[in-house]
Chains A and B, each alone.
Chain A
Amino acid sequence: MADASPARGARVTYDFVTRAIARTLGHPGKGYFALLGSAVALLAVGIGCLLMLLRYGLGLAGYSHPVYWAVYITCFVFWVGIAHSGTLISAILFLFRSGWRTAVYRTAEAMTVFAVMTAGLFPLIHIGRQWYFYWLIPYPNERGLWPNFKSPLIWDEFAIGTYFTVSTVFLIMGLIPDIAAVRDVATGWRKKLYAITSLGWRGTNEQWRHYSRGYLYLAALATPLVLSVHSVVSWDFAMAIVPGWHATIFAPYFVAGAIYSGVAMVITLLVPIRKFFHLEELITVHHFENLAKLCLLTGMIVGYAYCVEFFTAWFGGHPAERAAFWYRAFGPFWWASWTMIICNAFLPQLLWFKPIRTNILGLFVISIFVNIGMWFERYVIIVVSLAGEPYERFTNATYNPTWADWGIMAGSFGWFFMWFLLFVKNFPAVSISEVKEVLPAPQRGRGVHA
């Protein structure tokens, strides 16, 4: 599994890798605590808003007839989308033997798990009687009542639950050899933590043989999930009859969009990690360029899907469908639709140019715009389609998010970043063992085996 053009210096050896990555787990500075504190503060804001929502009701959020789903479901789809590139990079690219994934996959995988944890909160927050959320779960009960398996919301539950389980197992399994590596250099309570979580890993040939078989098997198991989860999420919409939702393109459109937003989020997270932890020699410009290419590809698919949606609305000739898409582009929410189109379809075209692809700051800025654009894509699909519902059109339909919407959304970012920050400081954020796989094996006089 050789890295085609790693562009890494000769001083990147096995020993260097272990030291560089173990260093990321060193004593955190003031900056780290400031970031962690901000994340926890944001989470506190979100929890405060949620308590208000539980006490007084969903009316505190900006819903208005006929907009029955809004920012919370937008955030749900946004976070599920973010969660997708992790498994793509870790499982699919693993099966394709792409060497470049080794430097970035751990971050992407951790992001996946935390993003699913964030996404999973929203369906619980957004329902009217949150304290009865367990009625959505199929469990034997004395009332003999089961959920409705025809409802796409129940499919969602299974899709997200499966994805969360598999991606968590995949993350933990990939961590085992690395935890063992840092266990051997750690001291104090961490030594104990790593001793337990490394599950007795000693790096014997026998262990590696079982491990790599198991990892391959899990990768194969996770691969179909990359495609299935967001397809199922898209059916929450595509199965409904709302014009703007009811489209057969939704599954591939959502999957491409999810990977697109996920890769953008990986770039957004990796740029600061690389800078603060001084991992420039492990995560090189080459890796960012490959991520940018993936972004460009999926961005083109998303742009194509936008065109197809509008074309089908026009070509299909259904008056309601046409009215819905006219409303989307030129109605009162035109600004949201055009933010989506510019950020997602036009801006990534810049990635055709190598100087931009290899400019870390440029990529960082573009990735943030893609994140914003993908959030707006879900906002447009959900809010604008409902507000402009053409069958019984409410000509004065409007939707204005309130503090309860923004507060809980901010809280979700706090929740995500809190977990992510705790992760990067306590576990190796770059895979030690897999980065070594793509390096030349140590030989006498060239490096020290670590």
Chain B
Amino acid sequence: MSWMRIERYYTGGEGKPVGAVVNPMLCQQCGNAPCEPVCPVYAAYHTPDGLNGQVYNRCVGTRYCANNCPYKVRYFNWYNFAEPGGEWESWPDPLNMLLNPDVTVREKGVMEKCTFCVQRIRGAQNRARLEDRGVRDGEITPACAQACPSEAIVFGDLHDKTSLVARLADDPRGYHVHAELNTKPAITYLARVVHRAAAEGGA
């Protein structure tokens, strides 16, 4: 199940050159998240460091959170995809070896979503605590940022004004998706600036 969707928006049209804009859409880790208050069992909750946590063990699957998410980035386990020999088994042996050992495999009937690789965040925090220091900027890299060859995804602590991500988020090109809904997303997108000539000639 993919937690990040690449949205395509086409530009141009009839008689004009056609282009496409891509936009990776993942959980925005809203500061004022619409998914959280509607969960009847607190499976969707706000962690003290600002993540929209999802407690898989607690989720009963009302799916109210997914309905109320304007970004539509919550995904549901309609079947038991990990049941060995099951009709919908997605990783028959030995493919189950590719499943992340740090993350539990979700059962059927459970909502799941991107948590900025919370297992990596907690791992780095634990290591830092053992070494009696703070978490350094760049120490945590979520899987998506790690996989992106053009380094288009940057992760860090927005409260640390010296961090790379905080400096990028202050960029005048930065915008939040659906800021008008007052969800206060944690993700800042940077708009691409295109010269008019290039735009008209086909991006």
Contacts and interface: CB of A to CB of B under 8 A. Distances in A.
A contact patch SS: loop
A165 interface: no
A272 interface: no
B58 A135 contact: yes
B154 interface: no
Interface in B8-62: 25, 34, 37-42, 58-62
Contacts of A154: 40
21 contacts: A56-B80, A56-B87, A57-B79, A57-B80, A57-B108, A58-B78, A63-B78, A66-B67, A128-B61, A128-B63, A129-B61, A133-B60, A148-B37, A148-B41, A150-B37, A152-B38, A240-B38, A242-B68, A389-B70, A392-B25, A394-B72
Size bin of chain A's contact surface: 35 or more
B41 A136 contact: yes
A312 interface: no
Interface in B91-143: 107-111
Contacts of B169: none
Given A63-B78, A66-B66, A135-B60, A241 B34 contact: yes
Contacts of A241: 34, 68, 70, 181
Contacts of B76: 58, 63, 65, 68, 128
A84 B110 CA distance: 33
A242 B72 contact: no
B39 A65 contact: no
Contacts, number: 119
Given A128-B61, A128-B111, A148-B37, 13 more contacts: A56-B88, A57-B79, A57-B108, A58-B61, A58-B108, A66-B66, A68-B76, A69-B63, A127-B62, A129-B108, A151-B64, A153-B40, A239-B38
B66 A129 contact: no
A123 B60 CA distance: 11
Contacts of B39: 148, 151
Contacts of A239: 38
Nearest to B45: A148
A145 B59 CA distance: 13
A63 B62 CA distance: 13
A330 interface: no
Interface of B: 7, 25, 34, 37-42, 58-64, 66-68, 70-72, 75-80, 87-88, 107-111, 178, 181
Interface of A: 56-59, 63, 65-66, 68-69, 123, 126-130, 132-133, 135-136, 145, 147-148, 150-154, 236, 239-242, 386, 389, 391-392, 394
Given A57-B79, A151-B40, A391 B71 contact: yes
A389 B72 contact: yes
A108 to B, nearest CB: 31
A158 to B, nearest CB: 12
Given A128-B59, A128-B110, A153-B62, A66 B88 contact: no
B77 A128 contact: yes
B182 to A, nearest CB: 10
B75 to A, nearest CB: 7
B60 A127 contact: yes
B38 A129 contact: no
A59 B107 CA distance: 13
A65 B37 CA distance: 21
B67 A68 contact: yes
Nearest to A394: B72
Top-10 shortest CB links A-B: A128-B61, A128-B109, A59-B78, A68-B63, A129-B109, A57-B108, A391-B70, A151-B40, A57-B79, A153-B40
Contacts of A386: 67
Given A57-B78, A129-B59, A129-B60, A153 B109 contact: no
Given A132-B60, A145-B42, A241-B181, A69 B67 contact: yes
A391 B79 CA distance: 27
Nearest to B108: A57
Given A148-B37, A148-B42, A392 B71 contact: yes
A151 B110 CA distance: 18
Contact of B110 (A129, A130, A394): A129
B115 to A, nearest CB: 19
B90 to A, nearest CB: 12
A139 to B, nearest CB: 13
A153 B108 contact: no
Contacts of B64: 151, 153, 236, 240
A145 B37 CA distance: 16
A126 to B, nearest CB: 8
A152 B66 CA distance: 15
A252 B70 CA distance: 26
Contact of B75 (A65, A127, A389): A65
A392 B70 contact: yes
A148 B41 CA distance: 5
Nearest to B87: A56
Given A59-B78, A135-B58, A147 B67 contact: no
Nearest to B66: A68
Contacts of A150: 37-38
A56 B81 CA distance: 10
Contacts of B178: 391
A148 B78 contact: no
Contacts of B42: 145, 147-148
